[in-house]
Structure 1
């Protein structure tokens, strides 16, 4: 799952396509690791090719049909903030978890200020430095080259956290990689850096490529315990209008909106379970 930048004319790659230039900004020399995130040991390279996984994530259910519990999560990959979504969240006092890249942070200081002014509403988490898939094998995902090595995965994660701290945001506790796909050794590495990895259970906007009505219907159909993934970085796409309308529809249903930190979020593929400090 990933952001799509139609403005860059790459829709032919896949319904989830992101501009391949997302990987072109990677700097050559690694920065010092973030102290809060810790440093990850380099896992052994697998002797056989590993499958990629796209982990699921749910929050604890409310058990109340009239007040289902749902977590809205948004990826801010690159580009600008979608004011339609951000304004709706603030005006309606709806909490959400936002995954930001270093690239997006540099372009959106006004949105960052809104996050800082509303810590009760926004949990801001790590989406990496340059929106490069956090896979330590030399593969392409939806046409985008993955990080390709344990060192590059660690750099993508650590530099995303560094950018958040530099912007005055709290140290992140969750990581979601570009495309939301990983190999198992990369999951181990990211977990060893101190992060939980955020999957999802409902794809709200197909990488911001759905139309407004389809996006609204899909998100408005969320069930108790769902973690919805959508995008908040495509203000020119119709999907943002549908997201804003879906937020209002969910609120009218009596939904209890939660952030990941507040609802015992649990994922598969060893992405969220408690781990020994030694791991």
Structure 2
């Protein structure tokens, strides 16, 4: 009897492998270091839903610090005054694509951090193109970078996003863990950025403690003499997918 169970177990294992879900990747990104002068750091912020964190935006405006802001169509719709502020300072703010509805750009049915993914290549394309259309309709230039909700993808969804004409915006420093860190921890994360780092944080959670820490971390970086750049101002390579 046992000689029949072994082949059956192998067959079941092969079948399970064949139907396993694609691996999710979280791309990392650094800006190029081929320059002379102070350390360069790219600050990037996600505006997913919710409102605008003026603790962060006020620092960027007051200190004249450039940043790349990834906005969703949903955020633009509910934050017209904040969007107008970004548009009024094109020398500081690069507005890029965070999608239409803040749906993870993953092309098979799954859930990430409790958020239902797009679920198909066609739905990924709708999420990307819907976000871009909203940005252009708001009066900003056509976006060139895309960062999906949760910043996780499959290799095939990254290929689809590239086919649509976008680079996927990874990062190298997670400044606030989805805005869930405490203020002190977020300050330390951001302030630890070094030459070539791309920092991700959130600018849409004014009630979370993390925003205060992010603002302080930015000020600490400026005091240290770093040069802030937007992704559009850099020669950034394509991101490197990692587990």
* 1:50 maps to 2:2: no
| Equivalence map 1:156-175=2 (5 Å) | 156-175=127-146
Bigger helix fraction? 2
Instruction: Write out per-residue CA displacement over residues 73-105 of structure 1, whole angstroms, 9 at most, x where no aligned residue.
Output: 000000001111111001101000000000000
Instruction: Write out per-residue CA displacement over residues 85-141 of structure 1, whole angstroms, 9 at most, x where no aligned residue.
Output: 111001101000000000000111111111111101000000001100000011111
CA 237–48 in structure 1, closer or farther in 2 if over 3 Å, else same: closer
Q: Is contact 1:216–1:245 with CA below 8 Å preserved after alignment?
A: yes
TM-score by length of 2: 0.89
Q: Where does structure 2 lack aligned partners over 5 or more consecutive residues? A: 1-17
CA RMSD of aligned residues (A): 1.7
Q: Tell me how far apart the structure 1 counterparts of residues 240 and 35 of structure 2 sit (CA, whole Å).
A: 25
Q: Tell me how far apart the structure 2 counterparts of residues 90 and 100 of structure 1 sit (CA, whole Å).
A: 18
TM-score by length of 1: 0.77
Q: Is contact 1:55–1:267 with CA below 8 Å preserved after alignment?
A: no
User: 1:93 maps to which residue?
Assistant: 64
Q: Is contact 1:70–1:228 with CA below 8 Å preserved after alignment?
A: yes
Residue-pair matches, total? 225
User: 1:226 maps to which residue?
Assistant: 197
Q: Tell me how far apart the structure 1 counterparts of residues 240 and 189 of structure 2 sit (CA, whole Å).
A: 25
Higher Rg = 2
Deviation at 1:62, TM superposition (A): 5.9
Q: Is contact 1:62–1:69 with CA below 8 Å preserved after alignment?
A: no
Deviation at 1:61, TM superposition (A): 2.0
Deviation at 1:205, TM superposition (A): 0.3
User: 1:193 maps to which residue?
Assistant: 164
Q: Where does structure 1 lack aligned partners over 5 or more consecutive residues? A: 1-45, 271-279
Q: Is contact 1:62–1:225 with CA below 8 Å preserved after alignment?
A: no
Structure 2 SS opposite 1:86: helix
Structure 2 SS opposite 1:152: helix
2:215 alignment partner, one of 222, 244, 251: 244
2:44 alignment partner, one of 42, 53, 73: 73
